Chains A and B, each alone.
Chain A
Amino acid sequence: MPHWFTFGRDTRVNLLLGSGHFLSHFYQLCLPPVFIAWQQAFDVSFAELGLVMAVMSATAALLQTPMGFLVDRYGARPFLVGGTLLMTLSIGAMGFATTYWQIVVLALLSGVGNSVFHPADYAILSGSIDPGRLGRSFAFHTFTGNIGFAAAPPATAALMLLLGWRGALILIGLLGFPVVVAIVWQSRILIDQVRRPQSRAAEGGAGLLLSRSVLMFFAFFMVTAMAGAGIQSWLITILHQVHGVTLAAASSALTGYMVGQIGGVLVGGWVADRTARHLPFVVVLTIGAAAVLLLVGVVSCPSRRRSACCLSAA
C-alpha cells in the first residue's frame, strides 16, 4: 500500500513513463529556437532547416508501426530504454555538429528514438496500471507530452542566452540520462502487457491492423488530427481576417484553445475511469465542439465572447 512518504507503484510507473514522454515531446520542439543560430552557423536556408523537422517527424511517424510489432514481439522495456537513450544522445550530439548534414542525420536518429514511445508506453501502462485507474494514467501520459511541447521553446531559448546554442543542446541532451537511469533502475515495476501465447503466435500481425475496427480507429485518429491542424495552423489567421480580431488577441485565443485542450485531457481521463460508456461521451463532446466552432466561424459576435468559445471548443 502506498504511504504518505512513498509513491505507490502506479504513481511511480506514471512518473517514469511520463518523464520519458515529456522528453520525447521536448526534444521535438527544442530545435526551432536554435534555427536562427544554425542559419548563421551553417549558412543554410530556412527551407533546409524546415527539412530537419520534417525528417524527424516523418521518421517517427513511419517507424511507429514497425516499432509496435517489435514491442509486441520482444517486450516494451528494452525499446523504451534504447529509444530514450538514442534520442538523448542525438540531441546532445547536435551540440557538437560542425556541418548541416550531421544535424539531418542526428534528426533522423532522434526520430527513430521518438517512434518508440507510443507503442512501448501504452503496452507498459496497460500491463502495469490498475485497470480502474487506466483512464487517468493515459490522461497523465498525454498531459506530460503536451507539457513537453509547451516547455521546450522557452526553456531552450533561455538556455541559449546563458550557454549559447551548443551548450544549450548538450545540456538538454544530458537531461535524458537521469531518465534512462531511472527507467533501468525501476524497470522491475514496469510490467509489460499480457503476452500472446505461443500457440496463437500466427494470429494478428498485419491482418489485425487491416481489420475493420483498427482501420476505423486509424481513420478516427487521422480525421481528428486533420480537424486539429485547421485550428492549430489557421485559427489566428481566421480570427484576424474574418472577425478583425487583433493578432495579439487571436494568438491568445489559440493559446487559450491549447490550454483548454490540455486541461480537457485530464478531465477526460477522470471521466474515462468513471464510465465504460466512452463512445457516447465522445459523441456528445464532438457535437458540442463542432457546434461551437460553427458559431465562431459563421456567426459574428463580440470578441470576448468569441475567445470564450475557443476555450470551450478546446
Chain B
Amino acid sequence: MTGARNTPRDVMVKDAAPPGQIGKVFGFVSSGMSLGGAIMPVPYGMIIDAGRPELVLVVVAALLLLSLLCAGGARVGFRHAPLPVAAE
C-alpha cells in the first residue's frame, strides 16, 4: 500500500510545479526524503532500547497519518494560490 502511494504523489508534485520549475521542485522534495530517512533510525533505536519495540510501529502509523495532513495542506495551498499552468 505504501508503494502504490509513490506515483500518485509524484504526479501531484508535478501538477503543482509551475512550468519550467520541475527540476528545483523535485530536487527539493527529494532532499526531504533523504532528510527523513537520515533522522529517524536513531530515535526508533532509542524506543527499542527503552524496552518498547511495539511502539515503533505505532509511531510509523502515526507518521503515515501525519503525512496525510501534509498532502492535504499542499493541495489546499495549491488551490488557494493557483499557479499559472496554462499561461503559455
Residues of chain A whose beta carbon lies under 8 Å from any beta carbon of chain B: 57, 60-62, 64-72, 76, 115, 118-120, 122-123, 126, 134-135, 138-139, 142, 193-197, 203-205, 208-209, 211-214, 216-231, 233-234, 237-238, 241-242, 260-265, 267-269, 271-272, 278-279, 281-283, 285-294, 296-298, 312-314
Which B positions have Cβ atoms within 8 angstroms of A? 1-14, 16-41, 44-45, 48, 53-68, 70-78, 80-81, 83, 88
Whether the pair A285, B1 counts as a contact (CB closer than 8 A) is yes
List residues of chain B with CB within 8 A of the CB of A226.
36-37, 39-40, 63
26 contacts between A and B (CB under 8 A): A57-B34, A57-B38, A119-B26, A139-B6, A193-B20, A214-B16, A214-B17, A216-B73, A220-B71, A220-B74, A222-B32, A223-B64, A224-B64, A225-B37, A227-B60, A230-B40, A238-B57, A272-B11, A278-B11, A285-B5, A287-B68, A289-B1, A293-B61, A294-B57, A297-B58, A313-B1
Cα separation A203 to B84 with both chains bound (whole Å): 11
Q: A217-B29, A229-B40, A293-B61 are in contact. Are A222 and B35 (CB under 8 A)?
A: yes
Residues of A contacting B28 with CB < 8 Å?
A: 64-65, 68, 209, 214, 218
State how many angstroms separate the Cβ of A137 from the closest Cβ of chain B.
9
Cβ contacts under 8 Å, B5 to chain A: 224, 264, 268, 282, 285-286
A-B contact count (CB 8 A): 329
A228 touches B2 (CB 8 A): yes
Given that A193-B23, A194-B88, A279-B75 are contacting pairs, would A238 and B33 also be in contact in the complex, using a CB cutoff of 8 Å?
no
Contacting pair B19 A227 (CB below 8 A): no
Q: Which of B21, B23, B65 is in CB contact (< 8 Å) with A290? A: B65
A238 pairs with B34, CB closer than 8 A:
no
Q: How far is the CA of A68 from the CA of B32 in the complex (A)?
A: 14
Which residues on B sit within 8 Å (CB–CB) of A71?
23-24, 27
Which chain B residue shows the least CB distance to A230? B60
Known: A68-B24, A120-B23, A123-B22. A224 touches B65 (CB 8 A): no
Which chain A residues lie closer than 8 Å to B26 at the CB level?
68, 118-119, 122-123
Beta-carbon contact of A65 and B31 below 8 Å: yes
Chief secondary structure at chain A's binding surface:
helix
Closest-CB distance, A265 to chain B (whole angstroms): 5
Which residues of the other chain, A, contact B33 by a CB distance below 8 angstroms? 221-222, 224-225
Contact B34 A60 (CB under 8 A): yes
